[in-house]
Amino acid sequence: MRPVERGPAPRTYAKYGDAIEDLEARLDIYCSYCERRLPTSLAVEHVVPKDLSPRLETEWTNFLLGCTNCNSVKGAKPVDVSDFLWPDRDNTFLAFTYVKGGFVSLADNLSETQKVQAQALLDLVELQRHKAPGWGNPAPRDKRWQQRDEVWAAAERSLELLEKLGGVDEAVEQILIAAKGYGFFSIWMTIFNDYPDVKKGLIQRFIGTASTCFDPDGNPLNRLGGNI
Ligand SMILES: [Zn+2]
């Protein structure tokens, strides 16, 4: 899951919905949880549900961007922030592993506490749900797993091309354009793990990626002040 940096509040909001354009300008047009690209249908997502904490309803630091699936699954489930990892507080890229076929699971090498917090975040938005047996049963309209599968395949094809062309700049540029168009930052970062130029480009081009979560070669680092 892409770690993000929303920055200081651009202004105050009378209604939370008024923040959508500022959020998209800061975090780009991707769901903060599942990473899919949605140019027109993202919603302001409240980390702590607005129904449970009206005080945080219009609070910038409580906002992320959510798609219909992540938003509706998360709903008004009670959230004690310290029980979870969060893309705006932690380096959530270190917390999860994306693999071929559209699967998401906990990363290896997490501490016991991190495992519990990472699993809590996965469960909160049911991100790991997949049609394969044993992976929960996604709702009929929940195609996040399928999109991950498709984008994984597209990214793999791009990798083959890059290897064939020997890593030339034009190919890197084309890959960055494709990645922005498809979304799913973490899948591209995973597939191009051996290509620092691609990783650096992804971190820069996906607006709002927390650059302090990565070293100059695009390798993930623990986030300062975060749980991971
Ligand atoms: Zn989503």
96-128 pLDDT tens trace? 999 999 999 999 999 999 999 999 999 999 999
Q: Measured in angstroms, how far is the CA atom of residue 66 from the centroid of ligand 1?
A: 5
Q: Measured in angstroms, how far is the CA atom of residue 168 from the centroid of ligand 1?
A: 33
Q: Model pTM greater than 0.85?
A: yes
Rounded CA separation 178/188 (Å)? 10
**28-49 mean pLDDT:** 97
Q: What pLDDT score does 167 carry? A: 80
Q: What pLDDT score does 52 carry? A: 87
Name residues with Cβ closer than 5 Å to ligand 1, which is an ion: 31, 33-34, 67, 70
Compute CA distances 218 → 48, 56, 102, 134, whole Å.
Answer: 31, 34, 23, 33
Q: What are phi and psi of 104, to 5 degrees?
A: -125, 135
Q: Measured in angstroms, how far is the CA atom of residue 38 from the centroid of ligand 1?
A: 9
Sign of the alpha-carbon torsion through 186, 189, 191, 193: negative
Rounded CA separation 129/108 (Å)? 19
Q: Measured in angstroms, how far is the CA atom of residue 104 from the centroid of ligand 1?
A: 13
